[in-house]
Structures are given as structure tokens and as C-alpha cells.
């Protein structure tokens, strides 16, 4: 069952299209992430779902109820959709308890208990109820903003780059705790982010936008390993794209023979390998004699447990080329080392 359905959504500003005929469906209880470069239309799409903007054309339905169609639009305050913006947008003149309880009816003990329960759900100490927003860390402010959105028992939760202002370690911890909380609550969630790694780890369904269009949708694993085109491949992570000649399920390229998923294709193609598929080994003279790929380490970008190693090698035509490989930090070859290059797994073919 789908919680959210969009049908041919179109929106322009000043005659310039921002979202072009986007159609998608989000399963109930799932987590979706919308990614794309700046100006791709992802935030505009989120704002139309929330009701902050209205499309020029198209329809939006939430749990079978039309929010936007030919007859009109349901205003934002009647959609029962939670929204957590990038900066949290807490009310500076209200303390934590009043921020969370804003919009909840009454001033009774029952309301105070609701606030206490929500503080517990977002892993904040009850003593923080009396604090003011400026007394909280960035992560604490985002938790309060999430609790405030949860207080309304939304049918859909929208997260607009809520972790981008946090430092790296806190961002990962917040992402995991928020994903767990929303999953336990059974709330359908859409995250908009410019952080591809964040989207890949957070979502059940990944949606890639570019120039106002939805270019690909599917599971994060499927999009990472089988992107629709080269631009999507590079956007979702480090990529090695090579020209190759396909024959009976093998791609003949500068790295040698690489198996591919599609055994029916023949002729010249472009293939994708991810850096983690390329392995470096100490150079064996027999590899050189057999014509297997080998090269020289020219640069190392040390990253602790994983490093990016640049290897220079000669193409099949004798032209200089380079490949960037992920290597364990504990076993990284030194700059200047001669190494053998091999590939594990299968390459992806672009259509």
C-alpha cells in the first residue's frame, strides 16, 4: 500500500520549470530520500508535498485522500504532515517543553505527560524541558524539532536537510537514531539531502532528481550499483567509467577482461566500476608477461581505515591513464610502488 502518490507534478517560477512532470509512489511506513544537485527541484517538490507551494499541474494523494487535484488544494495546516527544516526553526521565546507542546490542546497534566513521553522518544533528558533553544546544542535542537513534529501524530514526516548543520560524527549518530525512531513509529518519511552517503544509508527508496526531473528511483543498492546514466553514477559516489568492447559477457577494457551482468550485449559500450571493486596487489612479473593491468601508485589520500589510492597505468593504446582505488588504511601501498590491478565482481553497462 502506498502512503504518498504524486502524478505528473509540474511547477515553474517566472516561466522557468522547477519540477517537470514528476510521478512517484512512497510505500506506507517506508523511508525515502530525494537527492540531487542544487537547483534540481528536490526542495520545491518537498514544499509542494507539505503544502507550502502548490503545483501548476498534477495531483498529490496521501493515504488515498487527494491533497491536490483538478478541484483544488488542501492547505498545509490541514494535511497532518510533519516537517523538520534544516535549522530546526524552534521558537526562541518558548522553552523546550512549550516548543514540543506547541499546538497540543490544553495545559493539563496530560499534556505535560505527552511532552515528557516525546522527550523520551527522542532520547532527551526530562530536565531539558525547561531549557531555552539557545541553551541547546545543534543535535539537541534537531531532536526537539523532531519531537515537536511527532507531537502532531503526522501521517507523513518530511525532513529537509535536518542534519546538514551538524558535525560529521553527530550527523551519523543523529541519522541512525532518527531512522530507528521513525521506523518504530511506523511513520512514512521523506528526507531531502545533498549528502549522497546520508541518503544511501537512511532510505529504503532513493529518488534522484536532476534539472527538475526524476531521473531514477529504486533501492539505494540498486541505484548505486546500476545507475541509469553516467551522471547519476558519478553523483552517487566515486566511479570509474571506462570504454569497453563487449563479447559474450566479458568487457574488454584498459583493466583487462571484466565480467558484466548483461550477456546479450555486444560491441562498444561504457562500463561502470566502483573503486571498492578494484584491487591492488604487489606486482607479480608474470602479470606483466601475461599483459594484465598494472601501474604505479602516484598519490594517497589517507582517510584512516580507508584510503583513496591513485594508480597511474598505460591504456591498451599506450596512453597514460589513472584509476582511484579504495584501499584498507592498514595495508596501503606506498607512493611509487608498482602494483597489479584486478577487478572483483561484475561491471555495470550503461544503456
Mean pLDDT of the region 95-114: 79
Beta bridge partners of 296: 312, 338
Task: Cite the DSSP H helix spans in 252-319.
Answer: 285-289
Query: Cell for 112?
Result: 505535560
Strands, E assignment, 177-329? 188-193, 205-210, 213-218, 240-247, 250-253, 256-259, 267-273, 278-282, 294-301, 306-314, 320-328
Going by DSSP bridges, is the β-strand pair 205-210/278-282 parallel, antiparallel, or unpaired? Answer: unpaired
Has residue 289 got a pLDDT over 60?
A: no
Q: Does pTM surpass 0.75?
A: yes
pLDDT: which is higher, 336 or 304: 336
Q: How far is CA 127 from the centre of its chain?
A: 34
Has residue 174 got a pLDDT over 90?
A: no
Has residue 147 got a pLDDT over 90?
A: no
pLDDT band at 287 (very low <50, low <70, confident <90, very high): low
Query: Angle at Cα 154 formed by Cα 52 and Cα 30, nearest 5°?
Result: 100
Residues 6+ positions from 289 with CB-CB distance below 8 Å: none
**Among the ranges given (73-87, 97-111, 204-218), the one the predictor scored with the smallest mean pLDDT:** 97-111
Has residue 290 got a pLDDT over 70?
A: no
Residue 99: phi and psi, rounded to 5, are -65, -45
pLDDT tens for each residue of 44-66: 999 999 999 999 999 999 999 99
Gap between the Cα atoms of 161 and 144, Å rounded: 15
* Domains in the chain with CATH codes: 2-234 (3.40.50.300), 238-349 (2.40.50.140)
Gap between the Cα atoms of 240 and 226, Å rounded: 13
Query: Angle at Cα 310 formed by Cα 305 and Cα 311, nearest 5°?
Result: 125
Name the residue with cell 595495508: 331
Handedness of CA 120, 122, 128, 131 (dihedral sign): negative
Q: For 219, which DSSP code?
A: -
pLDDT tens for each residue of 231-275: 999 999 989 999 999 998 899 998 888 999 888 889 999 999 998
Has residue 345 got a pLDDT over 80?
A: yes
Query: Cell for 263?
Result: 550477456
Has residue 33 got a pLDDT over 70?
A: yes
Has residue 316 got a pLDDT over 60?
A: yes
pLDDT band at 67 (very low <50, low <70, confident <90, very high): very high
Query: Cell for 298?
Result: 602516484
Mean pLDDT of the region 300-305: 86
Supply the pLDDT for residue 288.
64
Going by DSSP bridges, is the β-strand pair 320-328/267-273 parallel, antiparallel, or unpaired? Answer: unpaired
Identify whether the C-beta of residue 81 lies closer than 8 Å to the C-beta of residue 60.
no
Gap between the Cα atoms of 170 and 165, Å rounded: 10
Has residue 134 got a pLDDT over 70?
A: yes
Map residue 133 onto helix, strand or coil: helix
Supply the pLDDT for residue 4.
96
Has residue 278 got a pLDDT over 60?
A: yes
Q: From its phi and psi, is residue 61 left (phi > 0), alpha (psi between -120 and 50) or beta?
A: beta
Which helix (H) or strand (E) element contains residue 341? Answer: strand 338-343
Euclidean distance between the first and the last CA atom of the chain, given in angstroms as a whole number: 31
Task: Cite the DSSP H helix spans in the chain.
Answer: 42-50, 96-101, 109-121, 138-150, 168-185, 196-202, 220-225, 230-235, 285-289
Residue 59: phi and psi, rounded to 5, are -135, 150
Has residue 336 got a pLDDT over 70?
A: yes
Between the CA of residue 214 and those of 92, 162, 298, what are the distances in Å? 37, 22, 38
Supply the pLDDT for residue 88.
67
Has residue 85 got a pLDDT over 90?
A: no
Supply the pLDDT for residue 291.
61
pLDDT tens for each residue of 185-234: 889 999 998 888 889 999 999 999 999 999 999 999 999 999 999 999 99
Listed residue (40, 41, 86, 46) closest to 235, CA to CA:
40
Amino acid at each position: 500500500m502506498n502512503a504518498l502518490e504524486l502524478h505528473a507534478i509540474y511547477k515553474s517560477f517566472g516561466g522557468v520549470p522547477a519540477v517537470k512532470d514528476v510521478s512517484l509512489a512512497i510505500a506506507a511506513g517506508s523511508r525515502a530520500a530525494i537527492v540531487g544537485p542544487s537547483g534540481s527541484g528536490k526542495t520545491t517538490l518537498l514544499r509542494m508535498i507539505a503544502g507550502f507551494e502548490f503545483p501548476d499541474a498534477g495531483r498529490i494523494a496521501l493515504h488515498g485522500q487527494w491533497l491536490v487535484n483538478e478541484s483544488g488544494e488542501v492547505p498545509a495546516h490541514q494535511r497532518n504532515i510533519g516537517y523538520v527544516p534544516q535549522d530546526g526553526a524552534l521558537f526562541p521565546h518558548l522553552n523546550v517543553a512549550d516548543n514540543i507542546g506547541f499546538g497540543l490542546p490544553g495545559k493539563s497534566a496530560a499534556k505535560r505527560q505527552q511532552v515528557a513521553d516525546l522527550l523520551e522518544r527522542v532520547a532527551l533528558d526530562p530536565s531539558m524541558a525547561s531549557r531555552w533553544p539557545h541553551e541547546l546544542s545543534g543535535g539537541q535542537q534537531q531532536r526537539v524539532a523532531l519531537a515537536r513534529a511527532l507531537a502532531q501524530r503526522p501521517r507523513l514526516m518530511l525532513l529537509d536537510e535536518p542534519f546538514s548543520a551538524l558535525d560529521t560524527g553527530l550527523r551519523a549518530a543523529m541519522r541512525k537514531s532518527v531512522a530507528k525512531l521513525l521506523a518504530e513509529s511506523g511513520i512514512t518519511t521523506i528526507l531531502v539531502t545533498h549528502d549522497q552517503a546520508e541518503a544511501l544509508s537512511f532510505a529504503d527508496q532513493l529518488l534522484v532528481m536532476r534539472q527538475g526531473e526524476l531521473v531514477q528511483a529504486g533501492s539505494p543498492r540498486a541505484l548505486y550499483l546500476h545507475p541509469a546514466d553516467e551522471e547519476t553514477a558519478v553523483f552517487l559516489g566515486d566511479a570509474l567509467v571506462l570504454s569497453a568492447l563487449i563479447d559474450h559477457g566479458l568487457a574488454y577494457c584498459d583493466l583487462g577482461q571484466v565480467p558484466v551482468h548483461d550477456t546479450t550485449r555486444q560491441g562498444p559500450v561504457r562500463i561502470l566500476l566502483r573503486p571498492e571493486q578494484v584491487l591492488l596487489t604487489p606486482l607479480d612479473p608474470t602479470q606483466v608477461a601475461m599483459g594484465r593491468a598494472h601501474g604505479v601508485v602516484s598519490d594517497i589520500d589517507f582517510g584512516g581505515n580507508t584510503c583513496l589510492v591513485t594508480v597511474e597505468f598505460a591504456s591498451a593504446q599506450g596512453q597514460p591513464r589513472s584509476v582511484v582505488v579504495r584501499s584498507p588504511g592498514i595495508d596501503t601501498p606506498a607512493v611509487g610502488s608498482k602494483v597489479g590491478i584486478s577487478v572483483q565482481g561484475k561491471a555495470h553497462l550503461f544503456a
